[in-house]
Structure 1
Amino acid sequence: MSDLEVKQQVRNFYDQIGWRMESDGFYQNARYEDLRPVAKEYIEKCHLRINRHLVWPGKYLLDAGSGPIQYPAYLTYMDGYQYRLCMDISIIALQEARKRITDRGLYVVGDISNLPFKSDIFEGIVSLHTLHHLPISDQKNAYKDLYRVLMPGKNAVLVNGWTESPLMDQWSWLAKLMDKIDGLLHKLPGKKSVLQSGKKENNKNEKKIKKESTGTFIEKLTAEWLRKEFSDMNIDILVWRTVSVRFLRAVFHRALGGKFWLKILYLLEEKYPEYFGKNGQYPLIVIHK
């Protein structure tokens, strides 16, 4: 599949499916996130990590691959800016974003690997879960273009996913074990599992996404690759979130003290942000210019 076909496929998915509101008030794309109450506090704290790296105040914040700005924490990123320029490949996403930020927003349909903006214009940049949709070659262009449009003395804050996570690979046995236990509990006559149902479908969805994004490309997105490709940039690799959605859903449950263990995980991430950023699933990449 060509790079152009990949982008067209992504656009079609989000226009036709991903950013369509479901009857429960969530976007269809929300099935790829863990929205259970047990994970809510941890997820929100991870979302808010973005703010500590933005340099306020400023006039223009670029949200590259903004989507519909679907979570409340996402709205806080613009607190220190006059305008949020939402750019996305999906017109549906931008229509939904406009409902949330109205006239404080500017809206552009565009490609993150070929930004239609002049250099040194944005006082801040955020981009969450967008770059992984691109082939590695286009990711290189995207990083360079984001750096180009960033104003000197300011930061770009990006959330991406590593092709492989050493920690998730190391602990994958636990997720598999919990899946097996859940399956056995479901088979007991008249018994309901204390664990959440629906993981099998969600796990299939996550594997499909991973295969369609970075998993099919020869080059792998790793911390080493990032530092090598952009050795001329001042980049910090910190933690955004250590655990994948699959691991969250399989391992952390209310009946098993899931909320407590996620608090412990968050404290560890705060103490060792570089370690978990490099070895966890989702790094928070801060580019200083």
Structure 2
Amino acid sequence: MNIIADYSILQCPATKQDILPADNDILSQVNNHLNNQEKFTAGLVNESKTIFYPIKQNILFLHQQYSIPLTKEFADNQKMTFDKERIFNYYNEIKYIGFEGKQIYEDADKWVDFRDFVLPYTQYGFSNVRKYIQPKGKYFADVASGPVAFKEYVHLADGYEYRICIDISVNALLEAQYNLQQENQPGIFICADMLALPLKENICDAVVCHHALFHVQKNLQLTAIKEMHRIAKPATNIAIVYDWFYHSRLMNITLGPVQLYRITRHYAGKLYARVFKKNKLYFYSHSRKWFIKNNPGKQIKFYAWRSINKYFSSIYLHKNFGGKKLLQYIWNKERKKPELMGRIGEYAVIVIEK
């Protein structure tokens, strides 16, 4: 089973060793311990032959939750923290719906305005990252790729030989396989933790991450950034789409009491999730100053991805009441002053040069 052309780009997320296809002896050793469970026909093993990683449905399972220890040293998988576990559970339980021939998250309409006069602006935002990465290369790393839900997301990797989809959700990776196949785009699909990316240093010509970093625990977001920086080639860019939430001056001013309600509900939700152990999606947004202070690259810049959120568009953008003109005004501002709107708007593309 040749899921990936070059295994030398991979590393064991636990030991940082090379990983290679498991031979028949390793497969037999693993399968003999599975009792009545389905047997593995392919997998990977680290250089010291202490950890086995399954391959199934064209997915490389390089997440610690799916690893199988071959020695007592690695017999106890690290237990997830509550915040990490609820993110893992949320994305492995979420459902999908169809949109324009692609599979997207069932809850996408909470965050995306699909109305016909707003959709071109939204789709332009989906393509924004393309302006800040190299136009072509070999490996395009899509960290926390999800299902690669929209056609604009798929075409971000045009000009690259391989798109490496990395996500904690097996279902998302299966949907990503389907979505990429619709556009005949070659993909490598890896189930992995963005805090321990199973790729070697200086491998990727582009690294992108959409709407995922703020779902990592606040004290671990820098680890995730450093991992993305590590796998990028020198002189290339890492592009991270980030939600400023209450750091967005534009949304704070224009939404006023609605924004205050959002912030209050956000913190109440955090308390609710902890008290009742619910799989409510974790969220924490750092400020722009935090990113500047912790930048691991040569330089860091902030550009507009989408300046407004669904709350703003629901309140202010109405087709027959000047909504189209207001939207066009905002859109023009983003085009003319992308750095300003990236600082004050809701969503930014954070571009880190390695």
Quick one: which amino acid aligns to residue 83 of structure 1? Answer: Y
Between structure 1 and structure 2, the one with the greater Rg is 2
Match for residue 127 of structure 2 among 27, 35, 48 = 48
**Structure 1 counterpart of 2:178:** 99
Q: Are 1:70 and 2:149 counterparts?
A: yes
Quick one: which amino acid aligns to residue 117 of structure 2? Answer: V
Distance in 1 between residues matched to 2:283 and 2:250, nearest whole Å: 18
Distance in 2 between residues matched to 1:170 and 1:21, nearest whole Å: 34
Task: For residue 30 of structure 1, report the CA deviation from its aligned partner.
Answer: 1.1
**Structure 2 counterpart of 1:190:** none
**Structure 2 counterpart of 1:192:** none
Quick one: which amino acid aligns to residue 154 of structure 1? Answer: T
TM-score, L = length of structure 1: 0.81
Distance in 2 between residues matched to 1:64 and 1:46, nearest whole Å: 18
Distance in 1 between residues matched to 2:235 and 2:269, nearest whole Å: 35
Distance in 1 between residues matched to 2:85 and 2:122, nearest whole Å: 30
Distance in 2 between residues matched to 1:111 and 1:283, nearest whole Å: 23
Q: Which runs of 5+ in 1 are unaligned?
A: 177-199
Report the CA distance shift for 1:209/1:156 in structure 2 as closer, same or farther (over 3 A): farther
Quick one: which amino acid aligns to residue 85 of structure 2? Answer: Q
1:59-90 Cα offsets, whole Å, 9 max, x none, are: 11000010111111101111010110000011
Task: For residue 284 of structure 1, report the CA deviation from its aligned partner.
Answer: 0.6
SS at match of 1:56: coil
Higher relative contact order (CA 8 A, sep 6+): 1
Task: For residue 278 of structure 1, report the CA deviation from its aligned partner.
Answer: 1.1
Within-5 A mapping of 1:79-228: 79-102=158-181, 104-164=186-246, 165-173=248-256, 207=266, 212-215=281-284, 221-228=286-293
SS at match of 1:85: strand
Distance in 2 between residues matched to 1:40 and 1:209, nearest whole Å: 32
Distance in 2 between residues matched to 1:77 and 1:282, nearest whole Å: 18
Report the CA distance shift for 1:16/1:39 in structure 2 as closer, same or farther (over 3 A): same
Quick one: which amino acid aligns to residue 14 of structure 1? Answer: Y
**Structure 1 counterpart of 2:14:** none
Q: Are 1:283 and 2:348 counterparts?
A: yes
**Structure 1 counterpart of 2:85:** 8
**Structure 2 counterpart of 1:247:** 312
Distance in 1 between residues matched to 2:82 and 2:175, nearest whole Å: 25
Match for residue 20 of structure 1 among 96, 105, 112 = 96
Q: Which runs of 5+ in 2 are unaligned?
A: 1-78, 271-280
**Structure 2 counterpart of 1:273:** 338
SS at match of 1:49: helix
Task: For residue 210 of structure 1, report the CA deviation from its aligned partner.
Answer: 8.4
Q: Report if the CA contact (8 A) 1:238-1:277 is conserved.
A: yes
Distance in 2 between residues matched to 1:137 and 1:8, nearest whole Å: 16
Task: For residue 174 of structure 1, report the CA deviation from its aligned partner.
Answer: 8.6
Quick one: which amino acid aligns to residue 194 of structure 2? Answer: I
SS at match of 2:320: helix
**Structure 2 counterpart of 1:187:** none
Quick one: which amino acid aligns to residue 107 of structure 2? Answer: N
Quick one: which amino acid aligns to residue 288 of structure 1? Answer: E
**Structure 2 counterpart of 1:180:** none
Distance in 1 between residues matched to 2:266 and 2:341, nearest whole Å: 22
SS at match of 2:118: helix
- Structure with bigger helix share is 1
Report the CA distance shift for 1:246/1:137 in structure 2 as closer, same or farther (over 3 A): same
Q: Report if the CA contact (8 A) 2:226-2:296 is conserved.
A: no
1:150-186 Cα offsets, whole Å, 9 max, x none, are: 001211111011141111111114968xxxxxxxxxx
Number of aligned residues = 257
Q: Quick one: percent identity of the two aligned structures?
A: 29
SS at match of 1:37: coil
1:26-83 Cα offsets, whole Å, 9 max, x none, are: 5312132221213101101111111111112201100001011111110111101011
Q: Report if the CA contact (8 A) 1:3-1:135 is conserved.
A: no
**Structure 2 counterpart of 1:194:** none
